Structure 1
Amino acid sequence: MQIAELLLLAAIWGASFLFMRIATPEFGPIALITLRVGIAALVLLPMLRTGDARQHLRNKAGPFLIAGIFSSALPFCLFAYSTLHLNAGFDSILNATTPLWTGVIAFVWLKKTMKRMQVLGLIISLVGVVTLVWGQVEGDIASSLLPILAVLLATLSYGFSSNYTKQHLADVPSAVVAAGSQLFATLVLLPLVLFTWPSAPISPTAWYAALALGVFCTGVAYFIFFKLIAQKGASYAVSVTFLIPIFGVMWGAIFLGEKITLTMIGASLIILFGTALFTEKLKFSRALQVS
């Protein structure tokens, strides 16, 4: 049952890049993401129905605000901006660098140790990123480099948020963290949307994409994710990272006619292999895993 939920979660999160690619040109990044986190907050609102949950929100408003900014508001906006210039499949592949940034930040900030195999995985993944980026920007550096940097900054933001949450919200139930982070992300973005809401009429297709982003790709996805954490543990749930690029590339090819190149396939395999080593999803002999 859990493997089906893991595949469903990967399919939903892979589709988020498709929906952003559809809706961002009409809404703009900030307006779209305000809708996304606002709708998600409403979907997850039942998670805050208990007195204990509301007490957590009051006592840790500052950490919830930081988590909301760096887990949702900032990275979602950066990803939305990138979809104006990059295809959905490309974005979903770069998203797989999130566990790498999480580990690097833990190493630098929290002084966590790295094993030799993890260092090797980091180097391999960076080679994959360079290969992927080089194939995208070759001959078109000016229009591609900034969106690519935006994606990498977004995954860096995810990495920071993961470590910050472990440090400051570890005693808060994960479902409350999910709901609270979306609520605070909405509060952060609401003032900005007053200046960025599009003046042109928005098509029904863009509205449907925005609704799908909020309800399914954020609200429902977070519910499944934290259910998997409760049932199988965080390590199992985070393994969804390895499946998201498959669905992201597939949805982009099917619904948007995006081209799948050999460079994309090769680079994604390199990134995923390196990430698997780094997160120790791939095990070799114990002799190779010396701290």
Structure 2
Amino acid sequence: MPLSSLAKLIGLAAIWGGSFLFMRIAAPVLGPVLLIQLRVALAAVFLLGLAFLSKKKLDLKSDWRHFLILGLFNTAIPFLLFAWAAKSLPASLMSVLNATTPIWGAVLGAIWLRNRLSVKTIAGLSLGITGVAVLVGLDGGHLSPTALLGVGAGLIAAACYAIAALYSKVAKSVDAFSNAHGSMWAATLMVAPATPFFPAASAANIWVVICVLMLGILCSGIAYVLYFKLIDEIGAAPATTVTFLVPVFGVLWGSLILHEHVGWISVIGGLLIITGTALITGFSPSVLMKRRVATAE
């Protein structure tokens, strides 16, 4: 992998890991609905500007249903669920729960697409489920009932991401930038009707405003651009290795900035989930090395 691509990969993981930090700060103040409405609207406007500069138009006449499905399962529902979970869960735990997406993908793929589960996939599922059980059953002993519901919300959000990914495999072919752009506008329209009924819990300070801007422009707008560039440079499979780095940064930012305590049980549960995800996706460091050699040649 070229150093420039590796830098983009690490940068993307740092940005997406930071999204849980920003939600943890802003969600208790603004509430999940208003926060996500601002996030998706800012991202949609940002991507609209990029589309204007690059002269990329959305084909709404034929793709609007497709954008609505993606906007629902890849943006609106999971964003709202994680924002709700952020009112009670630490950023580090949310980032680990997010890493269960490939695990959900394997389970739902076996049910929906009738994908055959290999021995490695079954082993990965077992490790992932064990990791979640460790986090909730052992490390969750100090969590309130509301926080345990937040864990459930985070797991459902990850399942929604998996549904969106599986849908993309069987849906009509639409370029990645249009998928992001169209789905952000779809999510904006979906969340907007509920926003007046869920006002902010308290007045926002400058830090909350910064978090909202970061979530909308950096974590949703710029991050998508980085991700698309990575796919073009190194391919879709190597680009998905960002899944394993996001929890690292989620835990790092939560610990450094919010002073969240990360115990050994949390570390063990997180490692079990990430290892299970690696088995399911077939990730191996040798894959990246082969890609780097091929690029150099």
C-alpha distance in 2 between matches for 1:194 and 1:178: 26
User: In 1, are the aligned partners of 2:98 and 2:154 still within 8 Å (CA)?
Assistant: yes
* 1:96 aligned partner: 99
User: In 1, are the aligned partners of 2:106 and 2:121 still within 8 Å (CA)?
Assistant: no
- Is the partner of 2:35 in helix, strand or coil? helix
C-alpha distance in 1 between matches for 2:179 and 2:108: 21
User: In 2, are the aligned partners of 1:137 and 1:145 still within 8 Å (CA)?
Assistant: yes
* 1:246 aligned partner: 248
Give the deviation of 1:100 after TM superposition. 1.1
C-alpha distance in 2 between matches for 1:214 and 1:248: 18
* 1:115 aligned partner: 118
C-alpha distance in 1 between matches for 2:284 and 2:203: 49
* 2:61 aligned partner: 58
Q: Look up the equivalent residue of 2:181 and give its one-letter code.
A: A
Give the deviation of 1:241 after TM superposition. 0.4
> 1:39-50 maps to which residues of 2 (within 5 A)?
39-46=42-49, 48-49=51-52
* 1:37 aligned partner: 40
State which drifts further: 57-66 or 82-91: 57-66
> 1:170-249 maps to which residues of 2 (within 5 A)?
171-198=173-200, 200-249=202-251
Give the deviation of 1:131 after TM superposition. 0.5
C-alpha distance in 2 between matches for 1:139 and 1:258: 14
Cα deviation 1:248-268 (Å, max 9, x = unaligned): 000001110100110111111
Structure 2: unaligned runs, 5 residues or longer:
287-297
Give the deviation of 1:219 after TM superposition. 0.5
C-alpha distance in 1 between matches for 2:284 and 2:111: 23
Structure 1 residues 37, 235: CA separation in 2 closer, same or farther (over 3 Å shift)?
A: same
- Give the number of aligned pairs: 282
Give the deviation of 1:191 after TM superposition. 1.1
> 1:123-162 maps to which residues of 2 (within 5 A)?
123-140=126-143, 142-162=145-165
Give the deviation of 1:203 after TM superposition. 1.2
Structure 1 residues 30, 60: CA separation in 2 closer, same or farther (over 3 Å shift)?
A: same
Cα deviation 1:119-154 (Å, max 9, x = unaligned): 111111110111011234315452322111000000
* 1:269 aligned partner: 271
User: In 1, are the aligned partners of 2:29 and 2:201 still within 8 Å (CA)?
Assistant: no
Q: Look up the equivalent residue of 1:86 and give its one-letter code.
A: L
Structure 1 residues 216, 51: CA separation in 2 closer, same or farther (over 3 Å shift)?
A: closer
Structure 1 residues 195, 128: CA separation in 2 closer, same or farther (over 3 Å shift)?
A: same
* 1:289 aligned partner: none
Give the deviation of 1:199 after TM superposition. 6.4
- Is the partner of 1:138 in helix, strand or coil? helix
User: In 2, are the aligned partners of 1:277 and 1:283 still within 8 Å (CA)?
Assistant: no
Structure 1 residues 101, 32: CA separation in 2 closer, same or farther (over 3 Å shift)?
A: same
Give the deviation of 1:23 after TM superposition. 0.3
TM-score (norm 1): 0.92
Q: Look up the equivalent residue of 2:229 and give its one-letter code.
A: K
Structure 1: unaligned runs, 5 residues or longer:
285-291
Structure 1 residues 42, 267: CA separation in 2 closer, same or farther (over 3 Å shift)?
A: same
- Is the partner of 2:247 in helix, strand or coil? helix
TM-score (norm 2): 0.91
User: In 2, are the aligned partners of 1:47 and 1:175 still within 8 Å (CA)?
Assistant: no
* 2:291 aligned partner: none
User: In 1, are the aligned partners of 2:58 and 2:182 still within 8 Å (CA)?
Assistant: no
User: In 2, are the aligned partners of 1:47 and 1:53 still within 8 Å (CA)?
Assistant: no
